[in-house]
Structure 1
Amino acid sequence: MKAAIDRFLLYLKNERGCAVNTQLAYSTDVRQFEHVLSAGFGSPLKLEQLSTSMVASYARWLQDQGYRPSTVSRKMAAARAFLIYLERQERVISPSPHAVLHPPSAPRTLPNVLSREQIDRLVEAPVQTGTPRGLRDASILGLLYVGGLRASEAVGSNLEDVDLAAENFLRRGVDPMTIRLGVALDPLRVYLRVGRPHLVKDDKEQALFLNLRGKRLSRQGLWLVVKRWAAAEGFGADISPHTLRHSLIRHLLDDGKSKREIQHMLGLSSPNAIRVTTQ
């Protein structure tokens, strides 16, 4: 199991483009998950041995340690991500027992910022439809987040802005910048290969995101994409494209980026524009 954890951490670094601090947090939490299970069920623990009852026992252990609810949620999210990786990437456990890892209940509020786990859920949900529209929506949601894009930047992007081979996207504007695709890479790859060809009506159309008539998606259409999938995942009515931008800022701050660095990355006029996410 320890070797699988090492492969998972490499996956986070190389495929998901996670920041160093994020990788370290996952490493700490997932290794704790392995340590607790090994202590309770024998070491070395084999992947084939993982069961729902084992994972449920870890969830109970976390609840008994006196951690804050936010810490329990983070540790459960790390274990969930590892188990989902084992199921979908290494295909060694099926179905994954991650469903028993329920974060502690808390008063339900409409979030101004989504957690990384919520971002993953938001991007993954449209993929499950398998439709051209769903593949498009997943690509939109992923790109809004990884690029911290404004709605106008997303709908204004063209095919030439995506470099799948380099796993990069060119965010245009006054200060153009190349960004790593991260969680948007896989959805974009599938959308461009099998989704967009079903939407395009004119081969000369260069818009990256198309509506059902084969034309460039409008800002209103993009807002509806975000609203529809946020509602489907139960995130509340106040989620907008700007929420994904704020979420990226919050996560970058958590990863140790300075406000000045984030200002440069997102093309903000001043670091003061970041204050709303840190209050």
Structure 2
Amino acid sequence: MPSPAGAAICHGMEAPPTGIPIALEPLVTRVLAPNASAYTYTGTQTHIVGTTDLAIIDPGPANDAHHAALLAIVDGRPVRAIVITHHHRDHSPGAPRLAQELGAPIVGAAPFALEDDGPRSDASFDHDYAPDRVLAEGETLTGDGWTLEAIATPGHTSNHLAFALPETKALFSGDHVMGWATSVVSPPDGDMTAYMASLEKLIGRDDRIYYPGHGEAIEKPQRLVRGLLGHRKQREGQIRRLLAAGTGAIPAMVEKMYVGVDPRLYPAAERSVLAHLLDLERRGLVHRDGETWA
């Protein structure tokens, strides 16, 4: 899911064809799901890794047409695993049907378990997500000529994983880094402190290209990740200046920070601002009194 500013640019665009396999490189094929929206851009991109045996990364929503397209691409080849980056409804619900029909395990992100009494941000969560195997940092899946290594990248969600393909130095970045907008970080499951740390972690890697869940491939990933870090620091600076000027309520901050953005996207923007404030609070830079921050 993108930030509200990013989501706004999707309105009025025509999505590219769905269900068509596009070879990104010899080991990677991409197919677009028919779920374009203000929060998914042109739709969720499923990536298929391998040639003689396969892994399917993020099968997308439970959609008959997308399911049929994936089966056609598999074309009887063995599928080693259905791999999930995180538990949002545009990424994981297509997994159980594929797993049953292909005899493949669901592998990747941990199951979702949010235990809190605060505001819930789980409207977009796949509550039926139940992996057969959870991958921890550095654990791998292997096939004929390919390896997928789990890279823990929490922040957008608490269980988010990226997957490195060391044979070609590619990274499947899920929603942590996208090719069209920044991700929403929505507490309590989303965590800005973790998100920033995960971006810093990627800066320390030497991946050649990112294949995101939404948007085009990212051919200069280090430059983009540095830009994402800079963008978040700019947002933090805006928030601190507004607080210093006496604007302490999140809705009032959003109105001043997201000028020109569709007001229907304000709730998502408020979650992002809250994530920044919680990060600042952990660092001892702000405090709150009820719904007001200072």
**Shared fold (TM-score, shorter chain, > 0.5):** no
TM value normalised by structure 1? 0.31
Q: Which protein is richer in strand relative to its size? A: 2
Q: Which has the higher contact order (CA 8 A, sep 6+)?
A: 1
Q: Which has the higher helix share?
A: 1
